[in-house]
Amino acid sequence: MKFVDIFLDNFFSFLRIGKMEKDKIKELERKNKALKARIKELEKKAEEYLNGWKRAKADYLNLEKQVNQEKQEWIRFANWDLVNKLIPVLDSFEKALADANDSKDENPWFEGLRQIRDQMEKVLKDIGLSRIKTIGQKYNPEYHEVIEKKGEKGKIIQEIQAGYMWHDKVIRPAKVIIE
């Protein structure tokens, strides 16, 4: 073989290898581009998942806070029914003691009733029951129910039936007469 033939064979082999390398480079560039697109797609999905997780966590924390508030409210008002049932008992004590005051009799039995009523009122006050103020107060429809109106001033002059609040809620409005 002549030098020229060898040279040409090597040269064409080099060109074929160059073309093959060029094709491989193009293929690798195409794969690289596809991988970059896939990475962007996966990053977008990861961001969506992260945002969804953040929303779910915020929703959970809000729900947990709401449940705790409802639980505290439930605990606060757990004795609502019992207190509602004891208010008529307080009314009966008041009526019995008012009748005893009318009799002018110094019976120790009535003093015992007063002490029992006072003890019961203290216990109920300690757990959140309070009596609504009436006589001398300005009429307020949230706390008072007018039984009789004797004028236009709107000032309470007589209490017919005591009203009560349980923490910050009216259990029973006071029945009053206003002037």
Q: What are the tens digits of pLDDT across the range 92-140? A: 988 888 877 766 567 778 788 889 989 999 999 998 899 999 999 999 9
Q: What are the tens digits of pLDDT across the range 153-167? A: 889 999 999 999 988
Q: How far apart are CA 90 and CA 114, in angstroms?
A: 11
Q: What are the tens digits of pLDDT across the range 27-60? A: 888 998 999 999 999 999 999 999 999 999 999 9
Q: Is residue 146 predicted with pLDDT exceeding 90?
A: yes
pLDDT of residue 155: 92
Structure-derived torsion over alpha carbons of residues 55, 59, 62, 67, reported in degrees to the nearest 10: -160
**Segment 71-95 mean pLDDT:** 87
Helix axes 80-103, 108-126, angle to 10 degrees: 150
pLDDT of residue 43: 96
Q: Which of 133, 138, 137 is nearest to 174 (CA)?
A: 133
Q: Which of 69, 178, 164 is nearest to 121 (CA)?
A: 164
* Structure-block tokens of residue 176: 């009053």
Strand 156-161 relative to strand 174-178, pairing: antiparallel
pLDDT of residue 103: 63
Mean pLDDT over the full length of the chain: 86
